[in-house]
Structure formats: C-alpha cells, structure tokens
Amino acid sequence: MITKKAEYAIIILTELASHPQGTVVTSKEIARSRALPPNLVVQLLAVLKEEGWTGGTRGPSGGIKLLVDPSEINLRQVIEIIDGPIGITRCLFSDTPCQNKTHCSLRGVWARAQNNMLSVLEEVTIRDLAEKAPRDC
C-alpha cells in the first residue's frame, strides 16, 4: 500500500515543480498551499533533500527549491524513497516459501498486475503532475 507520506512527498515535489525553475518556497507556504501538515512537510523535505532532489537556504529570503529537472523524477522513485519497495501482495516479495507457490493460479496474475502498476508509476513524472494536475489535490 502506498502511504500518505509518499503521497505528500509527491504533492510537495509537484508544488515545487509548479513554480518557475530556481524559485524558492518555504515549507510553510507548501503546507498552506497544499493543505498538508507543516511538521510532516518539514520531515519529508529532509528526505527529499537527502535524495538530492531539493535544496534550501536559511534566512529571511530562504526557502526550498528543486535541484533537478522534475521530468527526471518519476512516481515510483518517490514512493520507493518514502515507503520502500512497492508491492501489491506479499507473496511476490516473500523470502519464506509459500505452501501454495508451486500451484497458485494467482501468482502470475499478481506478477502481471505488479509489472503494469510499476510501469505506470515509472511513466508519470513530477513535471507531468505539475503541468496537468489541478492544484486542489
């Protein structure tokens, strides 16, 4: 399951990408603009900074900005940075043997669904969302 934290990280990046390149925005402005919990915005910005996607400056004219082209960040990357590997079911990632593994008719369906989901998440970039998505999500 994709967590709210991952969704918020995507929203934060989308907000930053919706401004002209190089524009700095404060965490408070992001939280207010997108109706996100301010403390969580700060926490997620730290993770995004650690990944090298955002950077900031302190002081009266400080703020956060994107350091990379938003077309280079896809949804799968963001989700996996926040939540870890994405899986629709545990059986595709389980290290312990499943008693039904050899004769499970669902495993192939889950694997196809997983691959399709990951493909969609890889295709959609932060730039796509910033250009096309309404600001009220």
* Residue 114: per-residue pLDDT: 92
What CATH number did the domain enclosing 54 receive? 1.10.10.10
**Confidence tier at 109 by pLDDT (50, 70, 90):** confident
**16 within a domain of the structure (yes/no):** yes
**79 within a domain of the structure (yes/no):** yes
**94 within a domain of the structure (yes/no):** no
**120 within a domain of the structure (yes/no):** no
* Residue 101: per-residue pLDDT: 60
What is the tally of structural domains in the chain? 1
**104 within a domain of the structure (yes/no):** no
Tell me the average pLDDT across 54-81: 94
Range of the domain at 17: 4-83+125-132
pTM of the complete model: 0.87
Q: How many Å apart are CA 70 and CA 21, to the nearest integer?
A: 10
Tell me the average pLDDT across 104-119: 88
Per-residue pLDDT at 137 exceeds 70: no
**54 within a domain of the structure (yes/no):** yes
**116 within a domain of the structure (yes/no):** no
Q: How many Å apart are CA 91 and CA 94, to the nearest integer?
A: 5
Q: Can you say whether residue 136 is alpha, beta or left, with left for phi > 0 and alpha for psi between -120 and 50 degrees? A: alpha
Higher pLDDT, 88 or 124: 124
Q: What is the pLDDT of residues 10-60, one digit of tens each?
A: 999 999 999 999 899 999 999 999 999 999 999 999 999 999 999 998 888
Amino acid at position 92, single letter: L
**Confidence tier at 98 by pLDDT (50, 70, 90):** low
What contacts 24+ positions apart, CB below 8 Å, involve 53-57? Answer: 53/13, 54/13, 54/16, 56/24, 57/24
* Residue 33: per-residue pLDDT: 94
**27 within a domain of the structure (yes/no):** yes
